[in-house]
Amino acid sequence: MHQLGAEIISNDKISDILENNGMLPIFGIVLWKHHLVITSKCKSIKEAFYYIKRIIDEGLSKRELEDVIEADDFSKYGHAITNFSTQLSAQQSQLAMNVLKDPNRLDFLTLERGYNERDLKNAIATDITCFLLELGNGFTFVGRQPELVVGNEGYFSDLLFYHIRLRCYVVIELKEVDFKPEFAGKLNFYVAACNKLLRQPEDNPTIGLLLCKSKDQTKVEWAFDSIQNPIGVATYEGIKIKDKLPSVEDLKKRLDMVEQELREYKENEEASAKDGNYTSNQETK
């Protein structure tokens, strides 16, 4: 029996645990088939509660639930460094933390060794569907490098999204290097511009998210000291590096092409030879 199943069976006060965690009123809403997945795959009651909330909030199907558990989403959420607790309401802060992953898996990308920031941005923009799937439910793509005109000058953030459940714009900046304090100031400016230019009265405050190779917690927290907008810093991983040497598949394709060209050359030579013989015979006659 799985660890969670054993933990539930051995705990005579499971209803008390549910009530203390605010789960009792909604526990019965989740379908039994979802509970079976959770009890068989989750390692702790805390992890189970996390996925139960995801089911309620996002309406996950059984297959979608299996996918997010397989992707180990529980270990990824809540690890981004943010200032949400001081810049957002308690409820909005908790919701925002629950939708930001850290790290973000970008293993759907394959880039050349020594890729730069533009290469990274272009690759994500080209495969925006996979990037949306990695971000999670609720994100809607608004545009790449939308122009924000401030003081008669245009500024361009990397990616702009709108999150349906959070009811706010989300500005994402991409960096191919480790976090630097100056990144926070630039992102803060883009968030402020979105609030002034795009945000409607019914929208919640815009959120900024910086994705970089790595982050140092002290540097990030100190950089947040003078920031007056809600922003967060998370990392990414899993980018595949394209090998400079051709793969076995590429070599086989090239060999097939050469063989095809040789066959066509021989066929043309044979056809030319037959035409020559036919012409000679006609002249003799």
Domain segments of the chain: what residues?
A: 3-75, 81-242, 248-285
Residue 3 has pLDDT above 60, yes or no: no
Longest dimension (CA), the chain: 109
Nearest in space to 81 (alpha carbons), one of 237, 191, 227:
227
DSSP-derived 3-state class of residue 162: strand
Among 34-43, 98-107, 191-200, top mean pLDDT goes to: 191-200
Residues 221 and 244 sit within 8 Å (Cβ to Cβ): no
Q: What is the spatial distance between Cα 267 and Cα 106, in angstroms, rounded to a whole number?
A: 48
Check pLDDT > 70 for residue 2.
Answer: no
Residue pair 232/208 in contact (Cβ under 8 Å)? The answer is: yes
At 151-197, the pLDDT tens digits run 999 999 999 999 998 999 999 999 999 999 999 999 999 999 999 99
Answer whether 190's CB lies under 8 Å from 173's CB: yes
Determine the pLDDT at residue 135.
Answer: 87
- Decide the pairing of beta strands 159-163 and 168-174: antiparallel
Quote the pLDDT of residue 178. Answer: 95
Strand 240-242, strand 231-237: pairing: unpaired
Contact status, residue 229 vs residue 246, Cβ threshold 8 Å: no
Neighbours of 143 (CB within 10 A): 11
Q: What is the pLDDT of residue 279?
A: 55
Query: Which pLDDT band, with edges at 50, 70 and 90, does 1 fall under?
Result: very low
Minimal CA–CA distance to 34: which of 51, 16, 11, 15? 51
pLDDT at 266: 81
CATH (residue range 81-242): 3.40.1350.10
Min mean pLDDT across 43-52, 58-67, 247-256 is at 247-256
User: Predicted confidence band at 246 (pLDDT cuts at 50, 70, 90)?
Assistant: low
Q: Mean pLDDT over residues 230-248, rounded?
A: 82
pLDDT at 241: 85
> Which secondary-structure segment (H or E) carries 236?
strand 231-237
CA distance 226 to 171: 19
Among candidate residues 192, 159, 194, 179, the one with its CA nearest the CA of residue 81: 179
> Per-residue pLDDT for 10 more than 60?
no
Burial string for 122-142 (b: 16+ CB within 10 Å, else e) reads ebbbeeeeebeebbbbbbeee
In this prediction, residue 280 carries a pLDDT of 55
